[in-house]
Amino acid sequence: MMGNPPADVPMVRASRLSAGPDSGASKEWRLDMLRGRLSEITGVARLSAVAVLAREAHRYGEGVAWVSAVDSLFFPPDLARWGVAVDRIPVVFAAAGGSAAVPTEGVASANASAVRTNVRPDMSPIVAERTARAAETLMRTGAFALLVLDLGTVRPATGSLGRLLRLAGIHDVAVVALTDGDPSLGSLVGVRVNASHSGPIDGRLTLDITAIKDKRRRPYWRVREVCCAPDGMY
Tens-digit pLDDT profile for residues 163-192: 999 999 999 999 999 999 788 999 999 999
pLDDT band of 210, cuts 50, 70, 90? very high
Domain 45-184 has CATH 3.40.50.300: yes
Residue 223: pLDDT over 50: yes
Neighbours of 8 (CB within 10 A): 5
DSSP state of 5: P
Judge whether 45 and 195 are in contact, CB under 8 Å: yes
- How far, in Å, CA of 196 to CA of 210, rounded? 8
Best CA proximity match to 84, nearest among 2, 146, 164: 146
- The answer to which of 4-13, 63-72, 179-188 has the lowest mean pLDDT is 4-13
Query: Given 3-state DSSP classes, what are the helix, strand and coil percentages for the chain, each rounded to the nearest 5?
Result: 25, 25, 45
Judge whether 181 and 46 are in contact, CB under 8 Å: no
Best CA proximity match to 83, nearest among 63, 107, 57, 46: 57
pTM of the model: 0.77
Best CA proximity match to 10, nearest among 88, 85, 66: 85
For the segment 200-225, the average pLDDT, to the nearest whole number, is 84
C-alpha 3 chain-centroid distance: 23
pLDDT digits (tens, 9 = 90+) for 105-159: 333 333 333 334 455 544 678 899 999 999 999 999 999 999 999 999 999 999 9
Judge whether 131 and 91 are in contact, CB under 8 Å: no
